[in-house]
Amino acid sequence: MTWEILNILAVSAFAFSGAIVALNERYDIFGTFILGIATPFAGGIIRNIALDVPVVHVWEQGYLFYVALGTIAIVYFFPKTWVMAWDRWNIYPDAIGLSAFALQGASFAIENGFPLGGVIFAAILTGVGGGVTRDVLAQRRPMVMHQEIYAVWALAAGLVIGIGWIDVESAWQTYLIFLLVILARVASFHLGWHLRFRDLYRL
């Protein structure tokens, strides 16, 4: 039940985020549904391809497609002012999706017997893959590729699960790390935390 709830939250959040971005980029109804579907499911597809696991597993979650489609349909009929406002607050659904999918990716890797490196890799790919796909398709600069602390929180989730500090079979521990990753992502955004970068324009 824990993972079903997290999966529904993650898919809803990322479908919402993808649809909001699509509408702000003035996509038509087809483009809005494509971006809204790609955002929650691209991360799992990328993860499975990278880990040499059949991609068909992603498509076996039939009810989640209906969750995504329903979310996108609701967002599509939002008033214009809501769409514009939510684009500025997209950090919140994005943080929910990042956290839930990072945990899902780490759990998936553990179930398939991957070592620590594979668990971390799966957490990162699943957590950030959808957001990267959304931004690339919308011709935006992916958050994971510049200064914002984004993928680091997916890495941290994969690390604590991979080394056994968090038992993914425990509901309360799973919800705890889920909330902590969300809070860390939102806090890093509002506090302006950034990773260092090399400034090639300064001597």
146 part of a folded domain: yes
Enumerate the β-bridge partners of residue 194.
148
Q: Is the pLDDT of residue 203 over 70?
A: no
Mean pLDDT for 113-119 is 92
Average pLDDT over residues 27-51: 91
How confident is the model at residue 168, as a pLDDT? 84
pLDDT the model gives residue 147: 62
199 part of a folded domain: no
Residue 26 within any structural domain of the chain: yes
Give the list of residues 6+ apart from residue 19 with CB closer than 8 angstroms, or none: 32, 33, 35, 36, 71, 72, 75, 76
Provide CB contacts within 8 A for 195, sequence distance 6+.
147, 148, 149, 152
- Identify whether 62 is part of a domain: yes
| pLDDT band, very low/low/confident/very high, at 202 (cuts 50, 70, 90) | low
Q: In sequence order, which ranges of 28-170 are alpha helices (DSSP H)?
A: 29-50, 56-59, 62-76, 80-88, 91-111, 116-137, 151-162
Q: What is the mean pLDDT of residues 197-203?
A: 58
- pLDDT value at 201 more than 60: no
Residue 139 sits in which domain range?
2-190
Q: What pLDDT is recorded for position 158?
A: 94
- Which of the four pLDDT bands, split at 50, 70 and 90, describes residue 142? confident
pLDDT reported for residue 123: 94
* CA-closest candidate to residue 73, choices 84, 85, 65, 62: 65
Determine the Cα–Cα distance for residues 142 and 134; give it in Å rounded to an integer. Answer: 8
Asked whether residue 183 is domain-assigned, the answer is: yes
* Average pLDDT of the chain to the nearest whole number: 88
Domain-located, residue 171: yes
Residue 200 resides in a domain: no
Segment 20-32 mean pLDDT: 93
Percent of the chain with pLDDT over 90: 54
- Domains of the chain: total: 1
The whole-model pTM stands at 0.88
